[in-house]
């Protein structure tokens, strides 16, 4: 057996001896599969070498995408803060006009979701993510100069088109670098920016509104102007700091590049390369997958609450504390998001340690349900404010869990780009529903909106529990298959294209 990089390779086992090319370097190359027919890795790694590499990836990869996503979410949700500062009044919005402006964003978001993620694979995340970040920064800046409902709808449509590729693109990007068990926590490190955007966005908005003007901009226009310029600056920097894939990472040694590629490849059953060429069969199976579709439906339900909180928390806080000043109302929106951020990281860390996702998705539902029960049951300001904490506690955590689960439910890179894109597309259908969940006629208690969110959380509990039971049943069925006879007569290309239908594949709850 070749001895290249042997310090990162532990005792090889009989399988590696039999396949002499399957050392660390061989497993990183195209043309070599890194698993046997049962999906077991043919390569074992030194845990200490993996830990050092993982730490390096965490320092070099995660901060850039996290900061980009932070301002992506701020640029999406700052319209809620602008509403408190006179956005509706200045644009002459009445009745359901505000909901229309919100929903037009999701029309383009949904339409461009899957195409954006396929473009991300084709162009490469290192260029694609900074480019769309620049686009939504410019779009956010443009919102500062709108004067009519039509103009606001137009700029929000463009913003949605650029932001469509952000969450699925980053999720897909991180799957190029991390193992299945590691991915949930790394996804949480950028998705936690959603609740932090709510907290930081409120603080930033309150600080901006203390200014007399910013150039020719006043009041709510300063929020879009200043935050848009910050996003533009960060996106330009990311063109130089975001590394596309391990092979192009100048900050990794050749030994570390081989280890980074081989680690990911060791979990991709029967795949001869980590970054495969797009294939129609793999694209279809990335979408037509029972776990991907059920998880995507759960994510749709979850986003009714996540996006509803983002857009309407300032409004809800305003109804709880109507006598507070605008800046005080902005500041009251911050604490629930901070608590939500803590739980995002905590639940995702547990998912990493146990290499489980669905069971944690099941666990997110009860607290959200309790929060909306309190919203519906009480008129007391303190109780309703506490309910906002309960709703934020677990609802944001489902983002990294759902994206990690769809990533774990497929095998190839091509299927993964489709699966994650599909998941986030469904999620933003939930966002579209959220824009019409809190209507002016339903205020100030918003019983319909809160009832919709209670129903969504209840369905999450039912569907995710059902998914957990089905995966257990199907794994038992697969255990009774004779893998060798099932694969008999197939070529390597045909075996690769089986994806999750490979008899050796097992669902990982």
For 254, other C-beta atoms within 10 Å of its C-beta total: 12
pLDDT at 36: 64
Tens digit of each residue's pLDDT (9 = 90 or more) over 202-239: 778 888 888 888 888 888 999 999 999 999 999 999 99
CB 450 within 8 A of CB 376: yes
Instruction: Concatenate the DSSP letters of all residues of 75-112 into one string.
Output: HHHHHHHHHHTTHHHHHT--TTHHHHHHHHHHHHHHHH
What b-and-e string marks burial along 310-324, b requiring 16 or more CB atoms within 10 Å of the CB? bbbbbbbbbebeeee
* Whole-number Å distance between alpha carbons of 55 and 454: 39
Mean pLDDT to the nearest integer, 156-176: 92
Nearest to 389 by CA among 352, 456, 337, 442: 337
Give percent of the chain with pLDDT exceeding 70: 91
pLDDT at 250: 92
Task: Kindly report the backbone phi and psi dihedral angles of residue 41, in degrees, each rounded to the nearest multiple of 5, phi listed first.
Answer: -65, 140
CB 300 within 8 A of CB 398: no
pLDDT at 9: 34
Mean pLDDT, the chain, as a whole number? 86
Whether residue 244 has pLDDT greater than 70:
yes
* Whole-number Å distance between alpha carbons of 226 and 217: 10
Q: Which residues partner with 217 through β-bridges?
A: 214
Whether residue 39 has pLDDT greater than 70:
no
Under the banding of pLDDT at 50, 70 and 90, the label for residue 298 is very high
Tens digit of each residue's pLDDT (9 = 90 or more) over 423-441: 999 998 998 898 888 888 8
Global pTM exceeds 0.75? yes
| H-helix or E-strand spanning residue 222 | helix 220-241
**CA of residue 206 relative to chain centroid, distance:** 27
Mean pLDDT to the nearest integer, 281-285: 92
pLDDT at 52: 94
Could you tell me which residue, 25 or 443, shows the higher pLDDT?
Answer: 443
Q: Which residues partner with 35 through β-bridges?
A: 41
Chosen CATH of 47-251+279-483 out of 1.10.10.10, 1.20.1250.20, 3.40.1190.20, 3.40.50.1370? 1.20.1250.20
Whether residue 265 has pLDDT greater than 90:
no
Under the banding of pLDDT at 50, 70 and 90, the label for residue 24 is low
Mean pLDDT to the nearest integer, 157-186: 92
Q: What's the alpha-carbon Rg for the chain, to the nearest Å?
A: 24
CB 149 within 8 A of CB 99: no
CB 383 within 8 A of CB 433: no
Tens digit of each residue's pLDDT (9 = 90 or more) over 86-126: 899 999 999 889 889 988 988 998 999 999 999 999 999 99
Residue that is written with structure tokens 């609802």 in the block: 395
Mean pLDDT to the nearest integer, 238-267: 91
């Amino acid at each position: 057996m070749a001895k290249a990089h042997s310090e990162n390779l532990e005792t090889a086992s009989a399988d590696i001896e039999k396949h002499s090319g399957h050392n660390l370097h061989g497993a990183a190359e195209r043309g070599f599969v890194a698993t046997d027919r049962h999906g077991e890795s043919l390569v074992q790694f030194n845990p200490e070498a993996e830990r050092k590499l993982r730490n390096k990836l965490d320092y070099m990869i995660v901060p850039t995408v996290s900061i980009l996503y932070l301002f992506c979410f701020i640029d999406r949700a700052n319209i809620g803060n602008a509403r408190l500062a006179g956005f509706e009044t200045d644009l002459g919005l009445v009745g359901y006009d505000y909901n229309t402006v919100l929903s037009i964003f999701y029309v383009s978001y949904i339409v461009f979701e899957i195409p954006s993620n396929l473009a991300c694979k084709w162009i490469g995340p290192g260029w694609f993510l900074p480019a769309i970040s620049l686009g939504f920064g410019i779009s956010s800046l443009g919102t500062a100069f709108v004067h009519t409902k039509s103009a606001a709808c137009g700029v929000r449509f463009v913003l949605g088109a650029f932001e469509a590729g952000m969450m699925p693109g980053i999720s897909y990007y991180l799957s190029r670098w991390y193992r299945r068990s590691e991915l949930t926590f790394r996804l949480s490190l950028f998705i936690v920016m959603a609740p932090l955007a709510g907290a930081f966005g409120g603080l930033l908005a309150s600080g901006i509104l203390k200014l007399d003007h910013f150039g020719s901009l006043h009041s709510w226009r300063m929020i879009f102007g200043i935050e848009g310029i910050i996003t533009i600056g960060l996106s330009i920097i990311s063109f130089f700091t975001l590394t596309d894939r391990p092979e192009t990472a100048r900050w990794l040694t050749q030994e570390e590049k081989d280890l980074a590629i081989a680690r990911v490849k060791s979990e991709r059953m029967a795949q001869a390369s980590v970054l495969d060429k797009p294939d129609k069969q793999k694209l279809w199976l990335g979408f037509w997958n029972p776990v991907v579709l059920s998880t995507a439906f759960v994510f749709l339900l979850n986003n009714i609450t996540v996006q509803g909180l983002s857009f309407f928390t300032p409004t809800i806080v305003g109804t709880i504390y109507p006598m507070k000043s605008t800046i005080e109302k902005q500041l009251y929106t911050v604490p629930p998001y901070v608590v939500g951020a803590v739980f995002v990281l905590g639940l995702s860390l547990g998912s990493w340690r146990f290499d489980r996702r669905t069971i944690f998705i099941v666990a997110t539902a009860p607290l959200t349900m309790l929060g909306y029960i309190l919203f519906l049951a009480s008129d007391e300001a303190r109780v309703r404010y506490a309910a906002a904490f309960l709703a934020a506690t677990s609802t944001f955590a489902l983002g990294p869990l759902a994206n990690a689960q769809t990533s774990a439910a497929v095998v190839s890179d091509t299927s993964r780009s489709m699966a994650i894109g599909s998941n986030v597309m469904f999620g933003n259908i939930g966002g579209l529903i959220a824009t019409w969940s809190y209507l002016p006629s339903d205020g100030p208690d918003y019983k319909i909106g809160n009832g919709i969110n209670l129903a969504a959380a209840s369905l999450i509990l039912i569907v995710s529990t059902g998914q957990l039971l089905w995966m257990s049943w199907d794994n038992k069925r697969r255990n009774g298959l004779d893998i060798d006879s099932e694969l008999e007569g197939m070529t390597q290309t045909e075996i690769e294209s089986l994806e999750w239908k490979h008899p050796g594949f097992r669902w990982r709850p």
